[in-house]
Structure 1
Amino acid sequence: MATIRKRNGKWQAQVRIKGSGALSRTFLTKADAQAWSRSLEAEAVRRGLPVGLKVLDSMTVSHILIRYRDEVTPNKRGAVREYVAIRVMLRSDISKTKLSSLSAAVVNKYIKNRLATVKPGTVRRELSILQHALGVSRNEWELPLQSNPVAMSKKPQAAESRTRRLEAGEWECLRNECAQSGNAQLLPMVELGIETAMRRGEVLSLQWKDIDWNKKTLLIHITKNGHARTIPLTPRALQIIEAQRSIKHHSDSRIFPTTEAAIKMAWRRVIRRCCLIDFKYHDLRHEAISRFFELGLSIPEVALISGHRDTKMLMKYTHIRPENVSQKLLRLTEAAAIVLSSNRE
């Protein structure tokens, strides 16, 4: 039988189950207290005595995050970034919350506090990690969590997708500054990114064995979505890769023998000199995909190159300029007029 009462501005729910003693938990809202009580009583009816719930009083969110960091995160491609996100969460108040007290209200408070200092996208990524960690705890580690509070929380709206493209004169400035960079790999990497829409990590991982000179294609083994893809190379892309042969190191199988950290540092310096502070390296991918569509490639053809398996996501990377469409319409109209005039004659 459940007892719910208000104490010190909060709601305490207590459920007494025969043979298990009293289980109690404090919530910020009465609705959360009632929901927890109902779920606990339903679980008792379905499975019998839930004595294992007592362990939730002796564990905090930090226990879950640390185990998840040590056992699950290392198997992910984005492990480095996830380590950073978990480190941030471990310093927050939510990490000290007992699992028996974790609720949607607690998660919502965490969301509100984080939004005061970071962008919604950062908060959404942290919540995704926490939600998965709680899911793994419940389904694989057999912790008696009655629900996943993160799934019931009100997540912040994702920011609008970026639409930044290179304006007139910016590409020339960017290219010239890259040519002056102390990292000789920056310019060819940037140029290849424009020609192929490849991500920075994909370009850095390219090896000579990945190039098929006869078919004029390259194979990308490691991708963000986990699906390898083979993409066609433009004549300019082939020239860029061919030029890398002259600096090929016999002990290095990579086409671009540098590190991600070195490229990031060189890029930041170039962007400052160009006064393109709002232009990110990943925007090169947006620029390339938009150019492919402006060249007249179809959606399947662009998706083949970019690796997008979702057309909706591909469209988020596509920012065709209206003035370019206007010029194309003018050319098509003029061509149609010529054909019509010729037929009349």
Structure 2
Amino acid sequence: MCPLPDPSKLSIEIPQVDNVKTEDLSADQLKALLKAIDVDSNIDVARMMKLAVYTGMWRGELFRLKWKDLDFERGFILLDDPKGGVSQKIPMMKAARELLESHSRTKSPYVFPSQNGGQRKDVRGPIKRIKERANLPKDFRPLHGLRHVYASMLASSGKVDMSTLQKLLTHKSPQMTQRYAHLHDDALKKAANVAEDIITDAMKDDAEKEIIQLSKHR
């Protein structure tokens, strides 16, 4: 029997990703959250949270979002000075477009301004209220967590490859997107199982036909 290696002498390289904590919500939890958002009195924060679900935008990107960054004609949102450092654009899905088009515009250049019209710095109060109303886990960080929910939904659908997901999340390197790879793999496995079931059923049909043919010749 080969002796086990001494753990103290092992050198393990752990891939570095920004904020490796991956948060997600079940379908029921997401429904409860969306209901809690819809009935909240703070319209700006409620819509900010929904936009996080629709686009996967960072908290800071939502705070910095200006009306000039919205390209309704081409259907894109410009992320000016994002976390990654280089300005990028992300697609504006139909739900996000409808939300932004219906959102009241003030004299402020910001889409979700603070009370004095400047850049918003904090939303802890309203978000805590919404989180508690939805009965979400205590360690779930709403705005940051909703970005993970967005990414998890896409990865688990099996319809979005990891390279495209990386671009949608504006990750600088594919390693940052790898935290969702297992969800994508699970979706691919489910798709493969569907193919297997179809083939198995087809083989059963052929076998049954062969049995019927043999019985006729007896």
TM-score, reference length from structure 2: 0.70
**Are the counterparts in 2 of residues 177 and 270 from structure 1 also a CA contact under 8 Å?**
yes
Does the alignment pair 1:175 with 2:37?
Answer: no
Secondary structure of the corresponding residue to residue 182 of structure 1? coil
Give the match for residue 208 of structure 1.
67
Does the alignment pair 1:165 with 2:24?
Answer: yes
Does the alignment pair 1:248 with 2:110?
Answer: no
**Are the counterparts in 2 of residues 194 and 285 from structure 1 also a CA contact under 8 Å?**
yes
Secondary structure of the corresponding residue to residue 77 of structure 2? strand
After TM superposition, the structure 1 = structure 2 runs for residues 125-144 of structure 1, keeping only pairs within 5 Å, are none
* 1:45-89 CA distance string (max 9 Å, x none): xxxxxxxxxxxxxxxxxxxxxxxxxxxxxxxxxxxxxxxxxxxxx
Return the index of the structure with the highest Cα Rg: 1
**Residue 333 of structure 1: CA displacement?**
4.2
Letter in 2 for 1:287: V
**Residue 299 of structure 1: CA displacement?**
2.1
**Are the counterparts in 2 of residues 174 and 274 from structure 1 also a CA contact under 8 Å?**
yes
Secondary structure of the corresponding residue to residue 21 of structure 2? coil
After TM superposition, the structure 1 = structure 2 runs for residues 175-324 of structure 1, keeping only pairs within 5 Å, are 175-244=34-103, 247-249=104-106, 251-258=107-114, 260-276=120-136, 277-281=138-142, 282-293=144-155, 294-316=157-179, 320=183, 324=187
The 3 A distance-change label for structure 1 pair 327 and 274 is: same
**Residue 206 of structure 1: CA displacement?**
1.2
Q: Distance in 1 between matches of 2:180 and 2:22?
A: 8
After TM superposition, the structure 1 = structure 2 runs for residues 49-198 of structure 1, keeping only pairs within 5 Å, are 161-198=20-57
Letter in 2 for 1:292: L
**Residue 327 of structure 1: CA displacement?**
4.1
Q: Distance in 2 between matches of 1:339 and 1:211?
A: 51
Letter in 1 for 2:133: R
Give the count of matched residue pairs: 181
Q: Distance in 1 between matches of 2:111 and 2:158?
A: 28
The 3 A distance-change label for structure 1 pair 339 and 248 is: farther
Task: List structure 1 segments (4+ residues) > 6 angstroms apart after TM superposition.
Answer: 335-340
The 3 A distance-change label for structure 1 pair 269 and 235 is: same
**Residue 303 of structure 1: CA displacement?**
1.6
Q: Percent of aligned pairs with the same residue?
A: 22
Which has the higher mean CA deviation after the structures are superposed, 162-171 or 198-207? 162-171
Please, what is the CA RMSD of the aligned residues? 3.1
**Are the counterparts in 2 of residues 201 and 260 from structure 1 also a CA contact under 8 Å?**
no
Which has the higher mean CA deviation after the structures are superposed, 325-334 or 189-198? 325-334
**Residue 228 of structure 1: CA displacement?**
1.0
Letter in 1 for 2:110: R
**Are the counterparts in 2 of residues 220 and 228 from structure 1 also a CA contact under 8 Å?**
yes
**Residue 280 of structure 1: CA displacement?**
0.8
Q: Distance in 2 between matches of 1:260 and 1:328?
A: 44
**Are the counterparts in 1 of residues 158 and 184 from structure 2 also a CA contact under 8 Å?**
no
Q: Distance in 1 between matches of 2:123 and 2:177?
A: 26
After TM superposition, the structure 1 = structure 2 runs for residues 24-35 of structure 1, keeping only pairs within 5 Å, are none
Q: Distance in 1 between matches of 2:161 and 2:93?
A: 16
**Residue 233 of structure 1: CA displacement?**
1.6
Q: Distance in 2 between matches of 1:319 and 1:307?
A: 19
TM-score, reference length from structure 1: 0.46
The 3 A distance-change label for structure 1 pair 269 and 219 is: same
**Residue 291 of structure 1: CA displacement?**
1.6
Q: Distance in 1 between matches of 2:153 and 2:67?
A: 26
User: Which of 1 and 2 has higher RCO (CA within 8 Å, sep 6+)?
Assistant: 2
**Residue 337 of structure 1: CA displacement?**
7.5
